[in-house]
């Protein structure tokens, strides 16, 4: 039985390695226009058209996002898609005044959150080795891992949305405490940040703000 298990793991590794080689052969890199869409010329948006975002698109967006790497495959991020008027009324309680209209106008606002008990799913997410003891009883380490990696997953989420032809506008002008009380009282999840998604009204844009040059913030040592 041990040999069968080792043979199976060897085969899985071989197939995973070949899949990466095949992908690199099929698409060595993104073209400049694709990079422009997801990052270089992408903009944060604050005004929206009334074009809806379907359930199918939200499922696809999640399926792309969840493939992004996280530490030990912990996948701590949780996503709540706020679309109904009733849910927006609840979310509005947490927002700074200037952000309420932005949220209400967006077809969907995603609450990017994280589950403090994420590590209890590692038997599913990291089945080849028991990593639960790394987190059990280690509150600070578990928190730092969750916050860092849920933020990372939030970035994957935004890039994936842009790659799908959606526009995004992340927001941090809200009360995490109120969001957690309003939406996560039953499951104990913790909010990280909000992200409006939909199809932007570009007439609200202003000029793109400055960015640093390489030598301003980078070192090669």
Q: What is the pLDDT of residues 15-51, one digit of tens each?
A: 999 999 999 999 999 999 999 999 999 999 999 999 9
pLDDT digits (tens, 9 = 90+) for 55-111: 999 999 999 999 999 999 999 999 999 999 999 999 999 999 999 999 999 999 999
User: Has residue 160 got a pLDDT over 60?
Assistant: yes
**Homologous superfamily (CATH) for 36-217:** NADH Oxidase (3.40.109.10)
Chain-centroid distance, C-alpha 158: 6
Sequence spans of domains, the chain = 1-30, 36-217
pLDDT digits (tens, 9 = 90+) for 103-154: 999 999 999 999 999 999 999 999 989 999 999 999 999 999 999 999 999 9
* pLDDT attached to residue 5: 65
Please list the alpha-helical segments (H only) found in 36-183.
Answer: 55-65, 85-92, 97-105, 122-125, 139-163, 176-183
């Amino acid at each position: 039985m041990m040999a069968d298990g080792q043979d199976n793991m060897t085969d899985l590794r071989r197939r995973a390695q070949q899949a990466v080689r095949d992908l690199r052969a099929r698409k060595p890199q993104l073209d400049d226009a694709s990079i422009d869409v997801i990052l270089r010329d992408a903009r944060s948006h604050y005004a929206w058209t009334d074009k809806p975002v379907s359930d199918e698109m939200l499922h696809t967006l999640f399926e792309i996002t969840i493939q992004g790497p996280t530490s030990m495959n912990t996948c701590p991020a949780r996503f709540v898609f706020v679309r109904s008027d009733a849910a927006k009324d609840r979310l509005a309680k947490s927002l700074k005044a200037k952000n309420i209209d932005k949220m209400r106008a967006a077809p969907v606002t995603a609450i990017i959150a994280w589950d403090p008990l994420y590590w209890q799913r590692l038997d599913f997410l990291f089945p080849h080795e028991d990593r639960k003891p790394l987190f059990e009883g280690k509150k600070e380490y578990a928190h730092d891992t969750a916050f860092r990696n849920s933020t990372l997953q939030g970035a994957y989420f935004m890039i994936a949305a842009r790659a799908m032809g959606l526009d995004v506008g992340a927001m941090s002008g809200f009360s995490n405490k109120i969001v957690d009380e309003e939406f996560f009282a039953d499951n104990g999840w913790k909010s990280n940040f909000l992200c409006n998604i939909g199809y932007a009204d570009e007439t609200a844009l202003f000029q793109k703000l400055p960015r640093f040059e390489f030598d301003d913030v980078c070192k090669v040592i």
